[in-house]
Structure 1
Amino acid sequence: MSLGQEYLKVVQERFRSVKDLGDKTIAQLSESELRFRTSEASNSIALIVKHMSGNMVSRWTDFLTTDGEKPTRKRDEEFEDTLTTKADVLACWEQGWKVLLDTLSQLREADLLATVYIRSEPHTVMEAIERQVAHYGYHVGQIVWIGKQIKGDSWHTLSIAKGESAAYLEQKQNEHRS
């Protein structure tokens, strides 16, 4: 496998991993918890999902041939509280990720150094991908943090539980020995 092919494989895995953290957080929350805001100036998980989805659809639709900031995108509207049910939040979440993952699956090594534009600013495809890895990781981190604050002691950890690091490491080492 070439370096470019490996990069495309790894970046798809990273995006799926980031999505999985969001999936597992959203699954733990009720409709009202998804819309919880600490203040008018803060964003709920539902608003973050709406923003991410709007960004994904804009950035990844016709990725190689049109500017990533589509004229049809209404970014400010992404922060209006219109997702009223958990089903709405999930549908919006899945729509954005589908566009992203479908587009990534079509990219080839030869595309990585091509130039694409985001708000008229040139980026290599690899640079544009990395920009979005950082952006989505940042927002999913917010989603997880908000979810943890809402759930408190009833939060189900998404990674290694506190005090379980040694047992987890031993399990992984035993798996690799087998």
Structure 2
Amino acid sequence: MEANYLESAKKQFEYYKMLGEKTFSQLDEMELFWQYNLDSNSIDIIVNHLWGNMKSRWTDFLTTDGEKNWRKRDQEFEYVIKSKSEFIKKWNDGWECLFTALDSINKDNFNTKVYIRNERHTVVEAINRQLAHYAFHIGQIVYIGRIIKADKWKNLSIPKGKSLEFNEEKFAAQKTIKVSSNALRA
């Protein structure tokens, strides 16, 4: 069960990472720094926050509190990223820290108690907490990207008004697999 849960969690994290990257690929450098107003976050601010959170939560995940004393959370919401290359570097660094930590979890340490801000969590609770947090911010990134690109936005999932067509394709592919499988048995 532990292995299944970890595999599922990794897939979900990979999915949200992909959504962010598909959004970035549609934006130019200036658009990564666009903000709706002075009180709203730009995509680069959100990425900087995700990076800070990931580095803090996933560094020494099983052995130290997830809120590291070296973390400067308030600075994560300031303009510190200066270029798209720095932006991409922080994005990848945060995710690498996360996946390295997930890869360190096994049946022998799965029941370790994990602390975040001195609050005790099971490994599952800690992972779920971060998965929900990152999904929230990736949703913001996608939404901001969509606002910026307007009618030039390329959908990341099923386009509006195309659900029936999408489902027909999915179910047709499944029927093809079943027919092919049955033909092999005959």
Larger mean CA deviation between 78-87 and 13-22 belongs to 78-87
| Among candidates 58, 61, 71, match of residue 60 of structure 1 | 58
Q: Distance in 1 between matches of 2:128 and 2:2?
A: 14
Aligned letter for 2:127?
I
1:1-178 matches, within 5 Å, as: 3-177=1-175, 178=177
Q: What SS is found at the alignment partner of 1:146? A: helix
Task: Judge conservation of contact 1:8–1:109 (CA < 8 Å) in 2.
Answer: no
Aligned letter for 1:86?
K
Aligned letter for 1:50?
N
Superposed displacement of residue 165, structure 1: 1.4
Q: What SS is found at the alignment partner of 1:111? A: coil
The percent of aligned pairs where both chains have the same amino acid is 48
Provide the aligned C-alpha RMSD in A.
1.0
Deviations 1:79-113 (A, max 9, x none): 11021211111111111001001111221134333
Gaps of 5+ in 2: 178-186
Structure 1 residue aligned with 2:183: none
Q: What SS is found at the alignment partner of 1:25? A: helix
Q: Distance in 2 between matches of 1:24 and 1:89?
A: 15
Deviations 1:118-153 (A, max 9, x none): 111111111000000000000000000000001000
Q: Distance in 2 between matches of 1:111 and 1:7?
A: 14
Alpha carbons of 1:175 and 1:109: their partners in 2 closer, same or farther (altered >3 Å)? farther
Q: Distance in 1 between matches of 2:103 and 2:167?
A: 32
Q: Distance in 1 between matches of 2:53 and 2:156?
A: 25
Q: Distance in 2 between matches of 1:110 and 1:42?
A: 43
TM-score, normalised to structure 1, is: 0.95
Aligned letter for 2:116?
I
TM-score, normalised to structure 2, is: 0.91
Structure ID, larger Rg: 2
Q: What SS is found at the alignment partner of 1:122? A: strand
Residue-pair matches, total:
176
Q: Distance in 2 between matches of 1:109 and 1:166?
A: 42
